[in-house]
Structure 1
């Protein structure tokens, strides 16, 4: 099984790692290719290409693509945690509570675009 892991999408320190049958084959941070510290706001495009080259595989051979964001349900303790963090500013608390999935959808769109640009099936 070939797993591509993506991290830092849209935030900073974008990176990619490639595992084949549970063994780490390659990992790289985007900043090393762009020569831009933390590569803020960048997707791990070059890092992903590097990992694929190191492993000698084609994009269509990837079985799973993983990235560290998930939808947050309305009853989730995580959503309440973020709202409670802003108890001193009710407007920020309400924003954190009601728009908990905004970050997920923004990152999801960017990851899907990255996969399409690299020729990786986005249904994985």
Structure 2
């Protein structure tokens, strides 16, 4: 992998990906679902600050700490917050942004893993 010019070739990050894949398997075995586990850290919509004002949140910090406690690597709160944005747990596009509206519409159709709404 270190020779593959098509990917990040940082040894620590490659080792972290391999390590984290193993941690996913353990987490799924223990918790039943990676998706349901991650969605359990969804922020309460009533406490979400104004759009695009954060790069971390209390939830991304808590999820980061939980993942690190479980042996995950390279999962700091900023990385986790970006992951939460990409998954749709956080929609911090400004009001009136077409992407914000698209995310809201997708979320309205989405059934959260683990039986949440």
Please say whether Structure 1 and Structure 2 have the same fold, judged by a TM-score greater than 0.5: no
Q: TM-score range by the shorter chain?
A: under 0.3
User: Structure 2 length normalisation: TM-score?
Assistant: 0.26
Point out the structure with the larger strand share.
1
Max radius of gyration: which structure?
1
